[in-house]
């Protein structure tokens, strides 16, 4: 993919860690919810430095590129993705409730830094889902 591809997005694109079991689990759940409204691309399929973001940065956080040129990452990207998935309350809370974004980003960082543990926990909690 070339950088100019992002200038003409027909739909939002979520770039995630394709080697992360936790990430893949949630991307599959979100994909079922969003259908073809959002493209999901592992960062391993984009060039290093893509849109100014290194593979090291992509490996630490999801990035959501909107049709309007926004580049969101971390909990903000997830809140926006959930909004696009029909769960707008999370985006509303993130942007409107005092300290919600700070707490959400801290929670995101905790999960991102301990993905293996949270993948096992997710599988336990959402066993049949």
pLDDT in tens, 91-126: 999 999 999 999 999 999 999 999 999 999 999 998
Give the pairing type, strands 39-42 and 63-65: unpaired
pLDDT at 24: 96
The DSSP code for 53 is B
User: Could you tell me the CA-to-CA distances from 127 to 25, 32, 54, 85 in Å, in that order?
Assistant: 12, 16, 34, 22
| Topology at the third CATH level for domain 3-122 | Glutaredoxin (3.40.30)
Q: Report the range of poorest mean pLDDT among 1-5, 7-11, 20-24, 82-86.
A: 1-5
Q: Is-contact 15 62, C-beta < 8 A?
A: yes
pLDDT in tens, 51-80: 889 999 999 999 999 888 889 999 999 999
Cβ neighbours, 10 Å, residue 5:
13
Query: Structural domain boundaries of the chain?
Result: 3-122
| Spatial distance between the Cα atoms of 113 and 128, rounded to a whole number of angstroms | 26
Q: Is the pLDDT of residue 127 over 50?
A: yes
């Amino acid at each position: 993919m070339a950088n100019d591809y992002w200038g003409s997005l027909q739909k939002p694109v979520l770039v995630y860690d394709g080697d992360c079991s936790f990430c893949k689990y949630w991307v599959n759940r979100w994909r079922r919810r969003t259908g073809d409204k959002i493209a999901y691309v592992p960062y391993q399929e984009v060039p290093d430095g893509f849109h100014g973001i290194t593979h090291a940065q992509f490996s630490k956080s999801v990035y959501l590129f909107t049709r309007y040129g926004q580049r969101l990452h971390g909990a903000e990207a997830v809140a926006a993705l959930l909004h696009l998935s029909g769960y707008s309350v999370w985006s509303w809370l993130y942007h409107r409730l005092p300290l919600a974004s700070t707490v959400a980003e801290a929670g995101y960082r905790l999960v991102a830094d301990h993905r293996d543990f949270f993948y096992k926990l997710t599988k336990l909690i959402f066993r049949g889902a």
